[in-house]
Structure 1
């Protein structure tokens, strides 16, 4: 089975999760978001593409639907 992923640039991710792009680059990348898990560097280049589904999973880690419904 082939899984389709949604790839986002730092700026696109910034607008989705409401964090400044600089915070993503300087604080989240390589501390919370890891290469090969949450982002890739396609073709061995400098450009970084974040994998939305993995990041969303990480953000929701420990959050259950009941908790979300109560708020």
Structure 2
């Protein structure tokens, strides 16, 4: 499956949330590492997986999505 990777700034423009809100309020409370975003090559840069973020926005956080990583 092909994924669309977005930086925090790109995600901000797509979902109309400020970059700081994404980093400080959504990341690690609604959007989780390994499910909704990755840190490629073990670095500091964060890339959000658009398809999974969009699915979470449409369906909400469910136990199943947390367990299966979808």
Q: Where on the TM-score scale, by shorter chain, does this alignment land: which range? A: 0.7 to 0.9
Q: Which residue of 2 aligns with 1:32?
A: 30
Q: Which residue of 2 aligns with 1:19?
A: 17
Query: How many Å separate the matches in 2 of 1:59 and 1:9?
Result: 17
Query: How many Å separate the matches in 1 of 2:49 and 2:33?
Result: 10
From 3, 8, 11, give the equivalent of 1:10: 8
- Any stretches of 5+ residues in structure 1 without a counterpart? 63-71
> When the two structures are superposed, what TM-score results if normalisation uses the length of structure 1?
0.83
CA RMSD of aligned residues (A): 0.8
- The number of aligned residues is 60
Quote how far apart the aligned CAs of 1:18 are: 0.1
Equivalent position SS for 1:32 = coil
Who wins on radius of gyration, i.e. which is larger? 1
Quote how far apart the aligned CAs of 1:21 are: 0.2
